Every structure is written in C-alpha cells, then in structure tokens.
C-alpha cells in the first residue's frame, strides 16, 4: 500500500479538496504539510458544502487529521474554522485533529505587515491574501517565531519577544505604525493558548508510529507548484515550497514515506491575483470558462483569471514535483466548445521554448503556441466511467497525457465526490 501526496499542478484552486476528500475515506490519517489559512478547499458532500482554509480536508469525514510543522498557524483563524464546521455538524476533538507542537504561529502584526506592504507596493503588488502568511514564514526562517509549544510557556517568552519586536517595531516605524503592544499580544495568546494546546503534540512521532503500523497516510498540499517559492512564477508566489518533496520536511517523515504523488490539474487553467499567465483569455471564452466553472476564490472571493490548458506548465510542474499521476478536474466545464486549444510551447523574442523561463520579464513576455482539438457537444457532467465520456473528450485527455508526459490517474466530472473516474488507484500503486 502506497502513501499518497496530493499537490496542485497549476496555480492552486485545482480542486484538491474534492480529491483529498475522495481519497480520505480510505486513508488512516490526512496531513497538511505547508501553507496556512490562505489555502481554500471546497468539499461538496451531498447537499452540504464545506469551505476549509486551514484544517485538513479529511476532517469532514472524521479521518484523523494533522496540521504539520510546515504549516504556519493562525490560532484565531483555527478557532473560527473549528467553530464554523462544528456548527455544520462536524465533530472536531483532539482525537481527530492533531497539531504539530513545533508549528510557527501567525500573529496579529503579521497580518498588519502583510497588508501594509501590499498597499505600499503600487504596481509591484503580488496579490497576497493579506493573512500574514509571508511575514510569519519570514520570522520562522529568521529564528524569531513563536511556536505552538511556546503557548505552554508564555511567562518565559521575554527573550523571544525581544528578537521579534526588535524586527517588527523597526518595520512598523517605517510605515508610520506604533510598536507592537507586547502586553496585549501576550494577553491574546494567553486567552487562546488552552484551545490550541488541546490539539498539540509531537506529530512527527505519531506519524512515524502510524507508518510503522502500515497505516495509509495522505499528504495534502496547499496552493500549487506554480506558486512554489523556488519553482513558481517568482515573485508572484506563496512563501513556502508547495512541491511534493515538502511533504517529508513539513510533516516530520522522511522522503521515502511520500510514495505516490498525485498532481491535481484543471482541464483548463486559472489563476488568482497578479503574475504571468501565458494562456489567459481576456475575452468571451475566458468569461465563459469562469462562469461555467464558478471561478471565484474560496478564501478571497476574488474572480479567477481563466485560460486554456497549458501543457508546458503542467509538464514542468510534474517534473519538479515528481508527479506519478494527474487528477484532471472540471472536465465538464469544457462541454459544448466547438474547438479547444492546448498550449504546447512558447515563443520568446522569436525563439521557441519547451519550458517556462525563470526570469520574471521573460515569463511575462512569452507567447503561447496552440494546438487546436475538436470539442464535444455531449455532457460529461457526472460521468463515472470511460464509457460515459464522449470519444472526443477521451481524445483530449489522451493528448494531455502525451504533452505533459504523465498519465492521468483520475478524472473529475463535477464537484460531487462520487463523480470521479478512477484510472489508477494511488493507494494501490
């Protein structure tokens, strides 16, 4: 039995929530390994819709769920999300939810700094969610972070607060803001500490024991490979590594534990926020994709930019993340198009490229080279087997496989959990 890591193979919003939920029923534990509450996963279970940002998608099914050390945790966002799901009838107890005690915390002044920087950036705006994710990661690597385990020792925080406030007070002064109110911060942390600590434990130990037992572990990534701080469209990226390799470091398990890597990709392409997007369609076709695909961010509500499938980007994402198989989502959104285009390469200043360049100016300048494929008029919505798909839709999927040099393991044909065609079982690979 293989463990499975689920990662986004585009710019996020690929439908990871549904796929993780679909896999979670057969998993023994689900682990979030990076990101924060800037993630957005929507689960549709029957008539119920659950919108998750921080909690692992397995939580709705009652599957033991872990927030790993690679995540940055906003304690107040956690409490609000737990309360929201509890009101929807989801039971969340320390027996189901486990939080790594070495998680770095997102604090109120991280949110402040995120917004202040974005507002001051003018044309250089990155398009962050303003939730403090980047500043929290900066403090983590700068060795200034307050972590979950520190909530049990708030009276001993003096030296850590000295380092933290020396950094942030100088930044805040540059924006004309007052220094961090240390007493107020400690009081807020004291108020939330017991709630967070009730879920805290050394999850690396728990996960290693689970692995020894042969439990199936499902690793859940946030955002997508094209937002990876190293491999994405820098600087328009998130502040963590989103590739599958992070599942090991962000959970406390070694790289050999990861197993099957399932990359999630839409049958077309979307992006939220700023940054290059070679196949973006700022026309009626792009609008049609957005309307049919209900393309609005789960976390921000922002309208997503839409375009044709970019095989170059997905091939690159699959390569740098070691993807074993692709889950192709939202195939039904393409129903009814007479022709469908796939980006197969780029032109940059008259030269042909078979990969996405690293330089930001070059990324913005590339022009897509398209291949046109005949569309299909029949509906694929709700299909659960190859036999229920139009022949032309199957041809489209097969062509994508050829271009991205990676097999399609799953096909999703609606937000409903069961509307999934299984080609290759990741847990049995």
The answer to whether the annotation marks 111 as part of a ligand binding site is no
Can you state the percent helix, strand and coil of the chain, rounding each to 5?
A: 40, 20, 40
User: Is 245 one of the annotated binding-site residues?
Assistant: no
DSSP lists the bridge partners of residue 410 as 327, 422
Cα(76)–Cα(51) distance, integer angstroms: 17
Q: Is 239 annotated as a binding residue?
A: no
Would the annotation count 139 as a binding residue?
no
Among 54, 178, 38, residue whose Cα is nearest residue 112: 178
* 288 annotated among ligand-binding-site residues: no
Residue 18 marked in a binding site: yes
Task: Identify the active-site residue in 13, 101, 112, 139.
Answer: 13
Residue 95: active-site member: no
Does 298 carry a binding-site annotation? Answer: yes
63 in a labelled binding site: no
Burial of 209 (0-12, 13-18, 19+ CB in 10 A): exposed
Is 41 among the residues known to form the active site? yes
Is 13 annotated as contributing to ligand binding? yes
User: Residue 369: which H helix or E strand, with range?
Assistant: strand 367-374
Q: Is 344 annotated as a binding residue?
A: no
292 labelled ligand-binding: no
Q: Is the dihedral of CA 373, 379, 384, 390 positive or negative?
A: negative
Residue in 227, 236, 255 with CA at minimum distance from that of residue 14: 227
Q: What count of Cα atoms within 13 Å lies in the side-chain half-sphere of residue 244?
A: 27
Tell whether 371 is in a known binding site.
Answer: no
Is 13 one of the catalytic residues? yes
Pairwise CA distance, residues 351 & 368, whole Å? 12
Is-contact 253 204, C-beta < 8 A?
Answer: yes
- Among 41, 98, 168, 266, the active-site one is 41
Classified as helix, coil or strand, 373 is: strand
Give, as one character, the DSSP assignment of residue 180.
P
Q: 16: annotated binding-site residue?
A: yes
In the three-class reduction of DSSP (H, G, I as helix; E, B as strand; rest coil), residue 317 is classed as: helix
Whether 259 has a binding-site annotation, put simply, is: no
Specify whether the CB–CB gap between 219 and 35 falls below 8 A: no
Choosing from 37, 140, 168, 231, the catalytic residue is: 140
Q: Is 249 annotated as a binding residue?
A: no
Residue stretches of the annotated binding site for Mg(2+): 13, 40
Residue stretches of the annotated binding site for IMP: 13-16, 38-41, 129, 143, 223, 238, 302
Residue stretches of the annotated binding site: 12-18, 38-42, 129, 143, 223, 238, 298-304, 330-332, 412-414
Active site residues: 13, 41, 140
């Amino acid at each position: 039995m293989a463990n499975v890591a689920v990662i986004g193979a585009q710019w996020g919003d690929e439908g990871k929530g549904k796929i993780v939920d679909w896999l979670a029923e057969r998993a023994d534990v689900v682990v979030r390994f990076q990101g924060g509450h800037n993630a957005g996963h929507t689960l549709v279970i029957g008539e119920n819709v659950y919108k998750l940002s921080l909690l692992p998608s397995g939580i709705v099914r009652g599957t033991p769920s872990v927030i790993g050390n690679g995540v940055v945790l906003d304690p107040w966002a956690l409490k609000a999300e737990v309360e929201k799901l509890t009101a929807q009838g989801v039971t969340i107890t320390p027996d189901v939810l486990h939080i790594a005690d070495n998680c770095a915390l997102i604090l109120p002044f991280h949110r402040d700094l995120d917004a202040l920087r974005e507002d001051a950036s003018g044309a250089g705006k990155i398009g962050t969610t303003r939730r403090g994710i980047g500043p929290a990661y900066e403090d983590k690597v700068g060795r200034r972070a307050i972590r979950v385990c520190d909530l049990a020792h708030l009276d001993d925080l003096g030296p850590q607060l000295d380092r933290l406030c020396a950094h942030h007070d100088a930044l805040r002064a540059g924006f004309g803001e007052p220094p961090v109110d240390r007493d107020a911060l400690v009081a807020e942390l004291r108020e939330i500490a017991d709630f967070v600590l009730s879920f805290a434990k050394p999850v690396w130990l728990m996960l290693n024991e689970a692995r020894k037992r042969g439990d199936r572990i499902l690793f859940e990534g946030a955002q997508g490979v094209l937002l990876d701080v190293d491999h994405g469209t820098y600087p328009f990226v998130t502040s963590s590594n989103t590739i599958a390799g992070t599942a090991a470091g962000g959970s406390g398990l070694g790289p050999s534990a990861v197993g099957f890597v399932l990359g999630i990709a839409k049958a077309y392409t979307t992006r939220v926020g700023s940054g290059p997007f070679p196949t973006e369609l700022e026309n009626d076709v792009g609008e049609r994709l957005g309307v049919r695909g209900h393309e609005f961010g789960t976390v921000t509500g922002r309208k997503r930019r839409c375009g044709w499938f970019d095989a170059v980007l997905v091939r690159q994402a699959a390569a740098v993340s070691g993807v074993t198989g692709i889950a192709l989502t939202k195939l039904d959104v393409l129903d009814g198009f007479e022709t469908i285009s796939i980006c197969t390469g780029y032109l940059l200043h008259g030269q042909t490229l078979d990969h996405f360049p690293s330089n930001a100016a070059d990324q913005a300048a590339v022009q897509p080279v398209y291949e046109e494929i005949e569309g299909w008029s029949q509906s694929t919505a709700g299909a659960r087997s190859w036999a229920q798909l139009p022949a032309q839709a199957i041809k489209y999927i097969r062509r994508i496989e050829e271009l991205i040099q990676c097999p399609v393991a799953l096909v999703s044909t609606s937000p409903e959990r069961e509307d999934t065609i299984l080609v290759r079982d990741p847990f049995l690979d």
